[in-house]
C-alpha cells in the first residue's frame, strides 16, 4: 500500500525551531539547547545531546567534572538577598542549580576561621574534606585542631520548597549579618557575608593582588 505524504503547514504545525543556541560543554565540545531542552544537531560539527558533562551556560554557577571524574559544584558571582523575620534566606538559584546533583539537597555551613563570614559548600565537598582530614594522624594535635575547627560548628541546612535555608543565629552572629546577606562564589565553595564587610574585603583583596602582581597560569589552568 502506497503512503501519501501530506505537506506540513508551518502555521498549523510549527515544526521549525523558535530558539536554538549553541551551548559550550566541558572539554570545548558543543551541545544544543531548544528552549532549555538539550537536542542533537548534526548540522553543527561536534554537537551532541545532553550528557554527563553537560553545562548549562544559563546558570552562572554549574556543576563540572573534576579530574577524578566526579561532578563538582562551581560557584561564581555575588548575590545579595534579604533575610525574613523567621531567619530564612533564599540561596541564589544558580547555586542551587550547581548543587542539584548532590546527595543532600541543601548546604553545609560553618564559621570561617579566617574571615567574619560563613563558609558554605555541598555535602560532597564536605565528604571530600573529611577524606583529606582522615589522612592526618588520628589523635594528633593537628587532627584535633582540624576537626574542631571544621566540623564542631558545621550545620546541615536543607532547602525548603522555595529554595530557602534557615540561617542559624550563631552563624549570623559570627558574620555580623543583619537584614541582608551577600553570597559570594569562591569556586568549589561559597561564602555568606555582611554586604558592607564583603565590599571592604574585596577592595583589600584587589589591592593586595595588584601590589603583589598576582597572576594565573595561562591556558585556563590546564
Task: Please give the full DSSP string across 170-212, using - where no structure is assigned.
Answer: HHHHHTT--SEEEEEE-BS-EEEE-HHHHHHHHHHHHHHHHHH
Q: pLDDT per residue over 109-153, tens digit each?
A: 999 989 999 999 998 888 887 787 777 777 788 877 877 777 888
- Predicted local confidence at residue 83, as pLDDT: 97
Q: Are 32 and 38 in contact (CB under 8 A)?
A: yes
Whether 216 shows a pLDDT value over 60: the answer reads yes
Comparison of pLDDT for 187 and 32, the residue scoring more: 187
Q: pLDDT per residue over 39-86, tens digit each?
A: 333 333 444 434 433 444 444 455 544 444 555 689 999 999 999 999
- Predicted local confidence at residue 211, as pLDDT: 87
| Number of DSSP helices (H) and strands (E) in the chain, helices first | 5, 14
Domains of the chain as residue ranges with CATH: 21-57 (no CATH), 71-212 (3.40.1550.20)
Comparison of pLDDT for 217 and 203, the residue scoring more: 203
- Predicted local confidence at residue 17, as pLDDT: 40
Residue ranges of alpha helices (H) inside the chain are 93-98, 123-133, 141-150, 169-174, 195-212
pTM score, two decimals? 0.64
Tell me the range of 68-82, 163-177, 199-213 where mean pLDDT is highest: 163-177
Amino acid at each position: 500500500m502506497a503512503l501519501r505524504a501530506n505537506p506540513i503547514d508551518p502555521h498549523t504545525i510549527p515544526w521549525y525551531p523558535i530558539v536554538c543556541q549553541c551551548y559550550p560543554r566541558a572539554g570545548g565540545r558543543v551541545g544544543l539547547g531548544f528552549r532549555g531542552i538539550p537536542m542533537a544537531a548534526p548540522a553543527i560539527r561536534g554537537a551532541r545531546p545532553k550528557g554527563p558533562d553537560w553545562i548549562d551556560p544559563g546558570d552562572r554557577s554549574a556543576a563540572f567534572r573534576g579530574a577524578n571524574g566526579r561532578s563538582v559544584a562551581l560557584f561564581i558571582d555575588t548575590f545579595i538577598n534579604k533575610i525574613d523575620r523567621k531567619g530564612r534566606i533564599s540561596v541564589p538559584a544558580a547555586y542551587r542549580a550547581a548543587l542539584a546533583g548532590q546527595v543532600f539537597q541543601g548546604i553545609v555551613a560553618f564559621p570561617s576561621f579566617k574571615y567574619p563570614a560563613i563558609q558554605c559548600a555541598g555535602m560532597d565537598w564536605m565528604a571530600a574534606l573529611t577524606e583529606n582530614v582522615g589522612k592526618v594522624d588520628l589523635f594528633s594535635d593537628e587532627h584535633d585542631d582540624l576537626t574542631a575547627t571544621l566540623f564542631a560548628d558545621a550545620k546541615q541546612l536543607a532547602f525548603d520548597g522555595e529554595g530557602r535555608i534557615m540561617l542559624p543565629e550563631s552563624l549570623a552572629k559570627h558574620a555580623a549579618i543583619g537584614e541582608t546577606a551577600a553570597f559570594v562564589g569562591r569556586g568549589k565553595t561559597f561564602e555568606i557575608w555582611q554586604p558592607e564587610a564583603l565590599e571592604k574585603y574585596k577592595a583589600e583583596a584587589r589591592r593586595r593582588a595588584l601590589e603583589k602582581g598576582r597572576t594565573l597560569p595561562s591556558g585556563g589552568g590546564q
